[in-house]
A = this chain, B = another copy of it.
Amino acid sequence: MYPRRVAQPSIRFVLVEPRSSGNIGAAARALKNCGFDRLVLVAPACDPLDEEARRFAVDAKDVLLAAERVPSLDAALEGAATVVGTSGLAGKQRRPNWRLDAFAAGLSREAAKGPLAFVFGRESRGLTDDELDRCTHLVHLAASEAYTSFNLAQALLLCAYTTRLALGVEPQPAAHDEPAAVHEEREAMYAHLNEALRAIGFLKPEQEEGMARRLRRMFGRADFTSGDVKVLRGIARQILWIARR
């Protein structure tokens, strides 16, 4: 639905020693959903192309099949100007650890520097200190303290989706196809409705003003289009026809 523009900055997603092929397949799908296509696997501890991986990749088998396999994190990071390591907050790393959304606010400037890599650790125990040392930035997710550990493919999805938004996909307009009703159309509609509601005894002289105002307020919040006004006037006409039979 949105252009794939965000795939143009060179951004790769690196999984270090992933153990679940289902996660690898799910990661491939999440990347393709978000307009990315470069998945790098460091010494996977499973067969990344097995049946389960394919089942989770669904229509992202192309991304899965194109995943690079390398023996070391250093090989995975070749050419990367920015290396973003994902980790919980609890590590021993005494350095800034950005919440993903705060990091993303500066992401387009970061990506303009050159190729960027996100690095994700093992399902069981994340990245080692040595691996975190190789990262130029650390980010973490805003997890609930009730359960801080995200599934690997879900953590990757949050990074990929946040990156996609930060790099500026154009939002679609949420507007209506029909033109908005203009003042005189609205006024004619209220007059017509009031006439109908008077005819059926819903608007009574003594409370008419308050109730008519309330209807204006209710309908006023709805941003009626020209077409909507015609529909309501059609109802008013029909009410009058029945009331005057």
A residues neighboring B (CB under 8 Å): 1-4, 6-7, 26, 29-30, 32-35, 56, 58-60, 88-90, 94-99, 101-102, 140-151, 153-154, 157-158, 161, 164-165, 168-169, 171-172, 174-177, 197, 200-202, 211, 214-215, 218-219, 221-224, 228, 231-232, 234-235, 238-239, 241-243
What's the least CB distance linking A125 to chain B, in Å? 14
Determine whether the beta carbon of B33 is less than 8 Å from that of A197. Answer: no
Determine whether the beta carbon of B147 is less than 8 Å from that of A29. Answer: yes
| Copies in the assembly, this chain | 2
**Contacting residues, chain B, for A215 (C-beta < 8 A):** 231
Nearest B residue to A241, CB-CB: B200
Determine whether the beta carbon of B242 is less than 8 Å from that of A148. Answer: no
Determine whether the beta carbon of A175 is less than 8 Å from that of B1. Answer: no
Determine whether the beta carbon of B200 is less than 8 Å from that of A242. Answer: yes
Determine whether the beta carbon of B164 is less than 8 Å from that of A142. Answer: yes
Nearest B residue to A90, CB-CB: B1
Q: Which 6 A-B pairs have the closest CB atoms?
A: A35-B144, A222-B222, A96-B174, A32-B147, A202-B238, A221-B222
Partner of A1, one of B59, B98, B140, B242: B140
Nearest B residue to A220, CB-CB: B222
**Contacting residues, chain B, for A238 (C-beta < 8 A):** 197, 200-202
What's the least CB distance linking A6 to chain B, in Å? 8
**Contacting residues, chain B, for A161 (C-beta < 8 A):** 141-142, 158
Q: A154-B154, A218-B228 are in contact. Are A145 and B29 (CB under 8 A)?
A: no
Partner of A218, one of B98, B148, B154, B231: B231
Determine whether the beta carbon of A94 is less than 8 Å from that of B177. Answer: yes
Complex: A243 Cα to B148 Cα, angstroms: 51
**Contacting residues, chain B, for A101 (C-beta < 8 A):** 165, 171
13 contacts between A and B (CB under 8 A): A1-B144, A6-B144, A32-B144, A33-B141, A101-B171, A102-B174, A142-B165, A144-B164, A158-B158, A197-B235, A202-B235, A218-B224, A218-B231
